Structure 1
């Protein structure tokens, strides 16, 4: 299937059409997306809080590529391909603590937390743990380029993307006031939602506020449609509100604010997608990250994490906040699943975009189309 004929997506928003149905339903297209949309840029795979202590390891299936994340003895979070360099055996099969070396369960080859090959039992024959032809320094684990920002572990599998700080300089600068320690709320501040939809529909829905009055009536009751604005930059898009309302407990207690915030954040909140798959939200007293994990063309897992300005935010408020956001995110499931079902309609032409309301969604469609077309040579490299 050719992916290059997406010229209608690239037209100005008032004339453009959305991505064709196959981009949401076809496993062939889903596989074709892997390199240009995921491997060649910075994608999120988990949070640093998933490996909180030295020695904590977590396997990750990154669109079919086996990886594992490890916080080393030095406290650094690293990502490796999850295979032994000997015969390609999987090394880490479940989240666990690795106190000593990373040992292959097949032939017991061992690696340091930095990925160096440190032991090769009987490689030169029984009782001989070295062999002149087997150079350990050439057979360490394959490390994947990684960067941690807003507690999200981003990776660039191809190694070809600009440095994370360069590629996302505008967002890092825009949210510089949130470059402070973030404290994960713990077990009651993380949950996963299963959506029977293509991952792109989850992004499209998150990018825009147009649906608020009908899908999120509770949220819209105080943060109205007219209180929102669009955010569109090359590598991120979304929306913000000028009316963010803090939650309170029965005694009027609120979460502490992040330190040093400017007056803008007294009432504002912003919600953007860092393409391809990290949905972030910032407010004066907490932030959240949603990592989209595609499980095929038609199923997506949403992994939600909530963070606060202090290490032990009030437990009751944490639970109330998580429950409130869960309601909002669950309200979205029906619409993204409904759009997925509709992609089976013959003759649907990708739909149209409101020039006034759908700018961020069209911006994301263009990002997808440009990368896919460039991968097929239909667009000249910038």
Structure 2
């Protein structure tokens, strides 16, 4: 399916006369299928922090638009990512997260694999003509890391992750994100299109309304970027990773540059992830597109590693967890209403505000990379 030419032209117009994307951009399963082919299966997508799998045999399973995958730390301590199915008849191998003890055993017919993906055991296959144990190992995905953040890609020859990230590493250099450690995560299910989640995360137009009883009204500035990401900064002389009313429990990161001291960065790393980087912490919204009208949103929270040893860490970190979850649930609630409204046969794209510049930018990135 292609978007209506006139509606796409209106969505692409200069911001002072632009309109929002047509309803089908969020409600049409054919559009979602095109996004799957051109975005989700070709671009890098975020998985987790590498310290979340510290030991040999540790694994975490993920459901993705390209099917189930599993990230596992091998006996040699190397992280690898595989399609999460048995090479015999396709059963899921691992679920959730845990430690497989160095051996992955299929729960259906007991085929087994080493943690590096090699086939180990295959009962009753001795008479199978032409059977090759090497060729029947687990199917790998491309995997790369930046500062401890792990990304995967279904493409066998993707462009380098650092090229995808562009100048993001330079922007966050003074935060020393390599020293961040994940201490908390929660997953929310939303009856809404994946793009609505990320659009909402890139504008402060709604914060004084949807979040009037939590974070309240915010003001932001848009920053220029190079690479497959976009960025705004919510201006605040203190971290906004906790609710207003009391000073943030943790001190600012030492050595922040002057730009970083001005506020919290909110990004979208295309296609499906946000990193929010504050003066004292960072958190992510990792969006898994489930269908054209359903998304799964993982919120993960990180702190500098030298904070974790404090005797009062758990007590003080709770204020951050509360804020991240409350605001996340408020956002999902309003987006589910938006998704429902977009199904109206009378829906017409509305005019954009100057505060919707990154909403427009996100939509146009999707259009340009899918050929809609």
- TM-score category by the smaller chain? 0.7 to 0.9
- 8 Å CA contact retained: 2:215, 2:244: no
Aligned-pair CA distance for 1:150: 5.7
> Structure 1: where are the runs of 5+ without partners?
126-130, 375-382
Flag the 1:293–1:47 CA change in 2: closer, same or farther, 3 A.
Answer: farther
- 8 Å CA contact retained: 2:57, 2:99: yes
Within the candidate set 168, 172, 183, 2:169 is matched to: 172
1:183 corresponds in structure 2 to 181
- 8 Å CA contact retained: 1:196, 1:340: yes
- 8 Å CA contact retained: 2:52, 2:182: no
- 8 Å CA contact retained: 2:187, 2:299: yes
Matching of residue 215 in structure 1 with residue 227 in structure 2 = no
> Structure 2: where are the runs of 5+ without partners?
none
Within the candidate set 129, 136, 141, 2:138 is matched to: 141
Give the number of equivalent residue pairs. 362
- 8 Å CA contact retained: 1:231, 1:360: no
- 8 Å CA contact retained: 1:83, 1:91: yes
- Structure 1: how far apart are the matches of 2:181 and 2:286? 17
Q: Where in structure 2 are the equivalents of 1:47-58 lying within 5 Å?
A: 47-58=49-60
1:297 corresponds in structure 2 to 292
Matching of residue 352 in structure 1 with residue 344 in structure 2 = no
2:105 corresponds in structure 1 to 103
- Which digits, 9 at most, give the CA deviation of each residue in 1:202-244, with x for residues without a partner? 11111112222322335666x742xx20135352223202314
- Which digits, 9 at most, give the CA deviation of each residue in 1:145-183, with x for residues without a partner? 122346543221123431111111211221122332211
Flag the 1:219–1:149 CA change in 2: closer, same or farther, 3 A.
Answer: farther
Flag the 1:45–1:7 CA change in 2: closer, same or farther, 3 A.
Answer: farther
- Structure 1: how far apart are the matches of 2:22 and 2:348? 6
- 8 Å CA contact retained: 2:192, 2:294: yes
2:250 corresponds in structure 1 to 255
1:30 corresponds in structure 2 to 32
Flag the 1:257–1:220 CA change in 2: closer, same or farther, 3 A.
Answer: closer
Aligned-pair CA distance for 1:50: 4.5
SS of the aligned residue for 2:88 comes to: coil
1:43 corresponds in structure 2 to 45
Q: TM-score, normalised by structure 1?
A: 0.84
Within the candidate set 220, 238, 246, 1:245 is matched to: 238
Flag the 1:266–1:11 CA change in 2: closer, same or farther, 3 A.
Answer: closer
Which has the larger displacement, 289-298 or 14-23?
Answer: 14-23
Aligned-pair CA distance for 1:333: 2.8
- 8 Å CA contact retained: 2:64, 2:290: no
Aligned-pair CA distance for 1:248: 10
Which has the larger displacement, 68-77 or 131-140?
Answer: 131-140
- Structure 2: how far apart are the matches of 1:305 and 1:64? 22
Aligned-pair CA distance for 1:65: 0.9
SS of the aligned residue for 1:360 comes to: helix
- Structure 2: how far apart are the matches of 1:298 and 1:206? 18
1:377 corresponds in structure 2 to none
Aligned-pair CA distance for 1:77: 2.2
SS of the aligned residue for 1:214 comes to: helix
2:283 corresponds in structure 1 to 288
Aligned-pair CA distance for 1:309: 0.8
Aligned-pair CA distance for 1:4: 7.6
Within the candidate set 347, 362, 365, 1:364 is matched to: 362
Flag the 1:4–1:85 CA change in 2: closer, same or farther, 3 A.
Answer: farther
Flag the 1:332–1:352 CA change in 2: closer, same or farther, 3 A.
Answer: same
- Which digits, 9 at most, give the CA deviation of each residue in 1:292-341, with x for residues without a partner? 12232222222111111123451111111111222222332333222212
1:206 corresponds in structure 2 to 201
